[in-house]
Amino acid sequence: QVQLQESGPGLVKPSQTLSLTCTVSSGSINSGGFHWNWIRQLPGGGLEWIGSVYYTGSTFYNPSLESRVTISVDVSENRFFLELTSVTAADTAVYYCAREFYSSWYRYFDFWGQGTLLTVSS
């Protein structure tokens, strides 16, 4: 079954740019019918959707984060990426990548990475 694995620096300084990678295995990122998502879990436990990318490069972003977020995809490497600029302590969270099954009739997140903790601190 599909596996997703996040990777990133673990610690970022305030005002810097956060960069994370999600590597997809046992499945092709350019399979139609799936969007590839970033979701974070804040220290209080709440889940927040960041955005998604389709294999063509089309993106959708959470309006509350859109000004700071870029999600991109590398089909040849079967990976997708998150960049979040101007980070603050409020961006400290566990970041998950997840596959979204997408159809006109229903949608859901069926496979998730294990998550990576990103701490913003000087």
Partner 1 sequence: ELVLTQSPGTLSLSPGERATLSCSPSHTVSNNFLAWYQQKPGQAPRLLIFRASTRATGIPDRFSGSWSGTDFTLTISRLEPEDFAVYYCQQFDSSSVTFGGGTKVEIK
Q: What does the binding site for partner 1 look like in residue numbers (CB under 8 A)?
A: 37, 39, 45-49, 60, 62-63, 96, 98, 105-110, 112-115
Name the one residue in this structure whose structure tokens are 């229903």: 106
Q: Which residues contact 32 (CB under 8 A, 6 or more apart)?
A: 55
Q: How far is the CB of 37 from partner 1 (least distance, A)?
A: 8
Q: Which is nearer to partner 1, 63 or 76 (CB)?
A: 63
Q: Which is nearer to partner 1, 2 or 16 (CB)?
A: 2
Closest CA to 39 of 86, 1, 105, 84: 84
Q: How far is the CB of 85 from partner 1 (least distance, A)?
A: 20
> What are the backbone angles phi and psi of residue 80, rounded to the nearest 5°?
-135, 165
Q: How far is the CB of 110 from partner 1 (least distance, A)?
A: 5
Q: Which is nearer to partner 1, 7 or 16 (CB)?
A: 7
Q: Are 49 and 37 in contact (CB under 8 A)?
A: yes
